[in-house]
Structure 1
């Protein structure tokens, strides 16, 4: 029996692309220009993934009156320098190409502004592989983004429905932070966590990720197993075995 291809929605930063240096340098440049203190690396890592405006105010302590300026300075630095500092994680390009070759619908759902997300994906030559790229509004400080990751995942899911029809309800999210798990759950989806991103120890499992994978080979295997389970060729015990794959660290 040929398996059904389960649609996959990917987070961007920390999942497809390692943006750490570019994001850290951009935030440091913004805070320094505004005369604010720069967090240490451990704290800076926690700012990668969540919405930038939230990270700047809640983690870096940027006053509300300076938030627009901080985002503007950060964005200018990120576009001029930060994007070029990012890199695809090992195995990502091959994974995406394999999914496309198999006819699997794939999307990106990121809290990075949508236009900027497309620019990053274009830089790495992978934007054209996705059926949908969804992100936040251009003005991250604006109201109206209350739905956060859940709303972005919902938008990507709606796009995928046009190409995957009834199988959209079996889509799976892949991400590296708790908000990816929460965004998936809000849309009735499972989330597979990746062990190469920026989650703290225990974050993904604690948030409810159905599995945490150490590399793209295991990720590919789990998703293909889901295809066969959906097609009725395997029972759910086969998936559970893979979901319990051990990784280094308690991510």
Structure 2
């Protein structure tokens, strides 16, 4: 039984750190700086694709990414908080024999630091993320990489995330996805992407994980 967890919007709420770092990058570029609430859509997609859309082209994206990481790697990654119920969920899944991994488009080194800071890294057998050269930023590539490294059966695994990118990446590798409603995606976004089901709280998520990984059947999460 394998569960792959997205990080941003699934395990932790990164809104302050990500939006402030995007604002910092835009300021350094001399671009207009929107309010934080207008930038939450940047939470989830790979950073390069997000900045490409935000800036209306690719020319300034390398500088934008560099400026973003300049601030995020210093203070932004800790402007973050763990969602209520997540530590208890991870502990319960671990006790039930579910092997846990993180699969995030965020830089792997940032993901490792965040999870260690919040004392969550101890629950995960592997923490996988992207590389500075943008390798594995696309969830399809990242999950393929995890399968190559971990050699588990996709049929006995499930992805958990809050955006369509999680669903698409998992489906490309034969893995079902549970969408969580507390993150930065929309229920319809997750449904249209093909999520197997949605969970509205960690208790419902645990039931869905155990059901989809073939453990003892429990009540399904909210459809």
The answer, yes or no, to whether TM exceeds 0.5 is yes
Does 1:47 find its partner at 2:37? no
Residue equivalent to 2:12: 17
Pick one of 205, 211, 216 that aligns with 1:225. Answer: 211
Q: CA deviation at 1:168?
A: 4.6
For structure 1, the residue ranges without an aligned partner over 5 or more in a row are 1-5, 247-251
- Where does residue 151 of structure 1 map in the other structure? 141
Residue of 75, 79, 84 corresponding to 2:78: 84
What is the alpha-carbon distance in structure 2 between the residues aligned to residue 185 and residue 106 of structure 1?
18
Which of 82, 99, 106 is residue 105 of structure 1 equivalent to? 99
The answer for the alignment partner of 1:242 in structure 2 is 220
Does residue 173 (structure 1) correspond to residue 159 (structure 2)? The answer is yes
State the SS of the aligned residue for 1:36. coil
With 40-49 and 192-201 compared, the bigger mean Cα shift is at 40-49
1:42 and 1:209 map into 2 onto residues whose CA distance is 26
Partner SS state of residue 96, structure 1: helix
TM-score (norm 2): 0.91
Instruction: Show the counterpart of 1:207.
Output: 193
Q: Which runs of 4+ in 1 moved over 4 A?
A: none
- How far off is 1:116 after superposition? 1.5
In structure 2, what is the equivalent of residue 196 of structure 1? 182
Relative distance call for 1:185 and 1:205 in structure 2 (3 A) is: same
Distance 1:156 1:136 in 2: 11
Counterpart-to-counterpart distance in 2, 1:226 and 1:185: 14
CA distance in 2, matches of 1:16, 1:62: 30
1:249 is matched with: none
Residue 123 (structure 1) shift: 1.3
Q: Contact 2:55–2:61 at 8 Å: present in 1 too?
A: no
Where does structure 2 lack aligned partners over 5 or more consecutive residues? none
1:191, 1:209 within 8 Å by CA — same for their partners in 2? yes
